Chain A
Amino acid sequence: MRFITLFIAVSLWLSANVPAQVVSDTLKMKEITVTSTRYRIPVIKQPSHTVLIDSVQLANTNGQSLGEALSRYSSIFVRSNAPGAVSLASFRGFGGEQTRVLWEGMPINHSMLGVLDLSLIRSGAFSSVEVSSGSGSSTYGSGISGSVSLASSINSGEFSAGQSIGSNSNYITFGNIGFEAGNWTLGLGGSIQENENDYRYYDRNTEQEENRRHATFDNDQFQLQAGWNKEGKRFQSKFWYLKSDHEIPENVFVGSGTSRQNDSASRWVSSFHFRTGNVQHGIKSYLAQTELDYFDPNRNIESISTGREWNNEWAATIYISSAVSLTNITSAHFTEVKTNNYTEKKYRNLLSEQLMAEISPTKALGIFPTIRVDHYSDFGAAVSPSLGINYQIIEDEIYFHSLVSRNFRAPTFNDLYWPEGGNEDLKPETAILTEAGIGITDQWKNVGDHNLAFFRMDISNGIKWNPGGGTFFRAQNYLSLLSYGVEWTAFKEFEVGTYKLSYSQSSSYTRSTIDEARFDGDAAVGDQLPYVPKWKYSGSFSVSRGDLRTSLYGNWVSERYSTEQNDIRDPEPSYFVLDASINYSKTIRKTQFDLSVQVNNILDEQYEVVRLYPQPLRNFLITLTIKHKNGN
């Protein structure tokens, strides 16, 4: 406990007491443009709280899943059942179903399940990840508690290849190659991971250290990209293939389990941007096929499904004046699911119309009204209005931002059509979000970049599977939830002599409760929702000098409840996990050699994110990467 306190105290002290020279390229929040809110403006000018995880940070979690990167660098709580097992993002007190995951601006949540398993995605496969807490359904449709937006970009004129070897027989081979020819760029990247995953852990069942069984995880993915750029016209086409075969470990009281899951996904997005007069056009088309085969020979269960999606979008932005732009987005999204669980193929046709404006009546003020109408073939229409503002209190230094929005989440195919309890009469979940906060750049007293956001979200018609007096559980609109809290992110880079230092931190307080009794004697009203920690803190601290860089990463999560009625069981203990890495980089002519040694959970913390799913004790990963750049 003393170590946690020390770690957090040092990080916070650094945010306010840095007697050092400011490094010239530190204005991260001010300069970097993000797109996950659809407003292509810097983070600091956004109306809602947005965090960018860049390629350097993603490379630091190269051998791990996207879930680990989100845990480390954002306020998201990742509900991970353990390495290789299902891992879902939890934003502002809500679950994976309410969190939208985007790839190149296209939603990729599984159409049957409504979630995206973060454990299937290797963090190093992306060039950046944007985490937008306040992004609701007015931006990309169905979604009420934020979005995670993945971007892929392979550098042209560069070749890189690497190998990671880690504890528990974890092997990852990866590489990228990019070409540039005239107006064209081509890129190919991919990785192959084989992970025995038989890690050490402390078993609360046997009360001794054990090795995890039945948790092998094989994951292959590659991306192919092509781009063309000429005279303001830009074409891009990206293809991403992912295949994952893994065993599914059970909780320690169930045993080793016998279930397996094989996933594959082929996703292809193409876009063309051009300008006519004062109108900027963007046309985008997305095709996807996802396969999921879950089988448990012991229980004689096999669930096979194929999902197909075709999503088309046309966006036109007209610049009425230097102070006003209007964007109209029209989209048509077709989804088909075929599974042995349903009696027949199921379809969903979604037509959407979105109108958004960016109004700057003064240099200091940005106003961002949006309205989106989604019409679903299976349950009707949903309207999502939002209004955001951003006001510079002190020019380039302190900003106020605020957003009010009404959001919805569409029922998943399983909610609607699962034979034992699916409910075709479901309505979408709806949520009213209000948030307000302050952004501070490093230009204000060299304190670093900070963003503080207070939020409140009221969900009604929440969908939950409920026994409802029958033999089977049934999906019903019967939850009324309230969530409120605060998020704070900070980043600072500075120099002390010949040393470059940086720190980042992300912390949050979240109170999420069931707001109204669902039945007589409902004992869960007012209790914290399961697996929503009230407090979360993630911080990193790096020191580099010359070719050497060392980093420490700390992640503290407060107690969580495993049941909706909090007093029925003791809470799950809080945990603090400390990771460290050392990177050595050497360039010989045009070839750069990077050697990284990563030690995770160096304090050997015995912890579980989800009750009785133990996480690994101390483990390591060594990565060697070779990069070669063409040209000067």
Chain B
Amino acid sequence: MNLMEVRGLRKYFQMSSGFLSKPHQVRAVDGVDFTIEQNKVFSIVGESGSGKSTVARLLLRLIEPQEGDVLFKGTNVLGLKGEALKAYRRSVQIIFQDPFASLNPRMKIFNALCEPLKIHKTVPKSQFRQRVSEMLQRVGLTEDVMSRYPHEFSGGQRQRICIARALMLGPELVVADEPLSSLDVSIQAQILNLLIRIKGEIGLSFLFISHDLNVVQYFSDSIAVMYLGKIVESGQTEQLFENPLHPYTQMLIESVPKITGVSHHSHDTAADTPSPIEIPPGCPFHPRCAKRLAACSSSVPELIERNGRVVACHLY
């Protein structure tokens, strides 16, 4: 069953750089469609500026889109107000990238974890302590962390606390925006295994946002690759990694350093990711693409179905 369905999502930011200059537009998210299935992990990969974090914020309604629909269990969440919006937010929670910035340094862990319960009044006050201690155990921490402050913990422990906080209200979907990228390699693996365990235990679904392809391949059921605000390819994890269709997906996969030694990539181009302020005409990837055709610089390729997945490229 589809838990969340996103259609034609668009978010443009207005940037005015100065008094006399013309305001310009950043097309951060430019017509994105995807679905997240129940108890599955859907990942968005892309480089900085691809719009992946903006998508996360839009889904949580931290910011409002210009266009598009976000359907959660069939209801459009973009129109929700008041109690209905609050109920939606109980079902969809977020884990941020930086566990150092996402915990209030002056709040004890107990208070930080109770905050969602206080706001949403889901359980009586007498049960707060029990709830917090259950959740801490679930993320592999002991009860005694409750009375301590965030600065007493390492990055990995803080990320566990953030995960516990996201789970306090019993969400159905957790949006994880680069939850591992500020952690050490050995700790990343711990947190990743924790997320997988939690997913199995309480039947969670994840929207997982990352730039680390190793992690994405390990964790996700299906993947969308974003480039400058658009999804350029999406499909099941195995398919996408075994036979990437879009030249950008191929480039991403080849760029990851492999522990098997010998590098396979030859990147002689000096082309940088274009800024989302000046997205190239036609296919946004064409200036960096080794396989570009004449059509690539003039017409934007549409997403088409191909071997059970979708890809936006003139080659297909």
Q: Do A and B bind each other?
A: no
Q: Name B's A-contacting residues (CB within 8 A).
A: none
Interface residues in chain A, defined as those with a beta carbon under 8 Å from any beta carbon in chain B: none
